[in-house]
Amino acid sequence: MSSGVRSSLTAGYVRRFSAAFLAALLLVACYLLFVRTRAGQATDTLAMFALSDLNRSFAPWDQVLLREWYLFILLPLIAVAVIVALVRRRFALGARMLVMVVAATVTTQVLKHLVLSRPALGITYYMTNSFPSGHTTAAGAAAVALVMVAADRWREVATYLSALVLWMVALAVVVARWHRPSDVFAAIGVVAVFALLLSPLELGGERGKRALRRGRIFTPFAAAIALVGVVMVAYCYYQLAKGGNYFMVGSATADLSQLAKIRHPLALMLAGGTVLSLGGVCWIFVFEVARAGMRPQKSSSLIR
């Protein structure tokens, strides 16, 4: 193997491990900022209430999606990923993909039920600890499973499809009030860690090179969108941390619900920031997994 190829692979592994570390930091940050603090719980709850209230103006797409997602989204994605791995005779890759799906799903359930807890800080709601989101974990794992096993010629299409599916499911569970936004971001972090560590670093051909170049065009745009969303959420977090006139009727949850119902500017900003940051994070996550199989090299070797 030439020194140029070795250098490229080393850089690829460094990037992958760095991205996995950042994904783990995302999970920890979400827990410390949005679960363990009163301001974070208020921000999380108001975002969920605001998105749910805004969605009442539209068809109940979230309920339709979540009601049918096992049959028409999760199972088909996993099945297609397994079939692709078998057709390509990539049995080791298929095994890695299945390990990633199981490991991410089990880790989320262990974190939610055995490790992490949600303290009672005066922001009440019928959900107890829902951190991380099991639905988003399953959707994310199924989505990147297809990306992991796709050949060069189909990996780009799989990336766009997977990012869209993940974003829609993640948004739907918040709109339906099944999960808070922090639950969703934490779930993406869990899946990202296992997907980045278990997907093989391949040396793609010219198709992969062109797809990588096109995908890179969207990544700075997605990062900018995510950054704008994070700034909007951070501003709302700061305002809720100050308290001010946002908590007046005695029950913090009732106050937050009222802010969402009257479509207070703070609630609207928080809803918009959540949607933007979620969309950007979904694309960056899926593309980081996809680029492992779209290295800009002409060799077709595979590093196991």
Instruction: Kindly report, residue by residue over 69-84, the tens digit of the pLDDT.
Output: 666 778 888 888 889 8
What confidence score (pLDDT) does residue 30 get?
Answer: 95
* Domain total of the chain: 1
Nearest CA-CA partner of 16 in 300, 298, 287: 287
Strand partners, 303: 201
Residue 147 pLDDT class (50, 70, 90 cuts): confident
What percent of the chain is modeled with pLDDT above 90?
38
Name the pairing type of β-strands 302-303 and 201-202: antiparallel
Domain boundaries, position 286: 3-303
Task: Report how far apart, in Å, the C-alpha atoms of 156 and of each of 12, 39, 54, 242, 281 are.
Answer: 18, 40, 33, 45, 17
What percent of the chain is modeled with pLDDT above 70?
82
> Taking residues 168-197, what's their average pLDDT?
92
Tokens 């002409």, located at residue = 298
Strand partners, 202: 302
Instruction: Kindly report, residue by residue over 80-130, the tens digit of the pLDDT.
Output: 888 988 888 888 888 888 999 999 999 999 999 999 988 988 887 767 778
Say how many C-beta atoms besides its own lie within 10 A of residue 251's C-beta. Answer: 14
Rounded to two decimals, the pTM is 0.87
